[in-house]
Amino acid sequence: MNTHIEKMKAVMFPAEGTNVVNVKFFLGSDRRVSADQLAVQLDRADAQIRSGAATRSHELDGHLTVKTL
Amino acid sequence: MSFARLYKFAAGLGQYPVRLEGVIDTKAKALSSQDELHYVPVDLDPEVSLGHIKQYRLSQGVYNPDPLWVTEIRYFKDLNVCWRRFVCCKELMHVFDNTDERTDTLEKFEQLLDEIEAPLPADAQSPMYRTESITKWMAVLILCPKPVREFLRPQWEAGEMSDYEVALELRIPEVLIPSIMSPRYDLVYNLLVAPFEDQLELE
């Protein structure tokens, strides 16, 4: 079966060697998530970045009013 | 030790909210020898995942044998600022993963996904899987270092500040506040920071 996991395994860890050194996840609200569902998220994020649909952000913190202790 | 150094830096800022971009992440990059760090808002299914980190080596061409070490944190684009900060800070803490903890082979990738799908008892968990919960607490310690916690706790204990109000001051999710104010915070601090306090004092 050609699942998303098999696809991500082949893309991220090909037989000829990988440049990936780490992948980790922050799970969502459904605690019964499957491995395939996570692979789909990884695949979609990769696709969005490759296509330019997702681009880097420089507004992570938003507007912060910093207070001193 | 590297995380303890980052914590000391965060605690030493003497400010809140603790700024992640350009402050914490710059220090984390330096402590973990990352060359590039990027945050990318992406369209994810938030029921499955709020974000993930992908670290990779990027070739600089045939004339430069040293690849760049790149950390890319992808987060769900519709998160509010509090969740965005927490999710990205938690993923950022994975720059401190050691060799055993990194998902850097096919077998480890398969194992991590299998464990997320069907978690094992604590003493059977892989180093990769264990980092998923440890990094959440690391992010908590960074975004609410002890001096900040001790500053806000009296008002919270007296009922003068609600969980929501404390969370607003820190710009972190409200759901974290009870844990921050609980003995669990001290337990994690004693595990991740306290053992290195003497050494950090000398630096």
Written in H, E and C, the secondary structure of B97-125 is CCCCCCCCCHHHHHHHHHHHHCCCCHHHC
Q: Does the pLDDT at position A1 exceed 60?
A: no
Q: Is pLDDT larger for residue A3 or for residue A59? A: A59
Q: Edge-to-edge strands of the sheet including B36-42?
A: A20-27, B49-58, B68-76, B36-42
What was the pLDDT predicted at B174?
98
What was the pLDDT predicted at B31?
94
Instruction: Quote the pTM value.
Output: 0.94
- Token pair listed for A27: 């799970």
What integer is the mean pLDDT of A17-22? 88
What was the pLDDT predicted at B39?
97
Low-confidence ranges of chain B (pLDDT < 50): none
A64 contacts in chain B (CB < 8 Å): 17, 19, 171
CB-nearest to A60 from B16, B21, B58 is B21
What was the pLDDT predicted at A55?
95
- Token pair listed for B48: 């499955």
What was the pLDDT predicted at B166?
98
Q: Minimal CA–CA distance to B4: which of B198, B197, B144, B203?
A: B197
* Interfacial B residues in 47-106 facing A (CB < 8 Å): 47-59, 67, 69, 72, 74-75, 77, 81, 84-85, 87-88, 90-91, 94, 97, 102-106
Query: Across chain B, how many H-helices and E-strands are there?
Result: 10, 4
Strand partners, B38: B72
Measured at the alpha carbon of residue B81, what is the angle toward residues B75 and B84, in degrees to the nearest 5? 25
| Chain B, nearest residue to A53 by Cα | B42
Q: Does the pLDDT at position A25 exceed 60?
A: yes
CB distance A21–B102 less than 8 Å? Answer: yes
CA gap B169, A24 in Å, rounded: 29
Q: Minimal CA–CA distance to B17: which of B135, B161, B178, B151?
A: B151
What was the pLDDT predicted at B198?
83
Q: Does the pLDDT at position A11 exceed 70?
A: yes
CA gap B203, B50 in Å, rounded: 37
Q: Please count the other Cβ atoms lying within 10 Å of the Cβ belonging to residue A46.
A: 18
What was the pLDDT predicted at A2?
53
pLDDT tens digits for A36-64?
999 999 999 999 999 999 999 988 999 99
Q: For an interface test with B, give the residue of A24, A50, A60 to mutate (most B CBs within 10 A).
A: A24
Q: Express as a percent the part of chain A with pLDDT over 70.
A: 97
What's the sign of the alpha-carbon dihedral B172, B74, B43, B109?
Answer: negative
Secondary structure of B30-90 as H, E, C letters: HHHCCCEEEEEEECCCCCCEEEEEEEEEECCCCCCCCCEEEEEEEEECCCCHHHHHHHHHH
CB distance A27–B74 less than 8 Å? Answer: no
Contact B109, B103 (CB under 8 A): yes
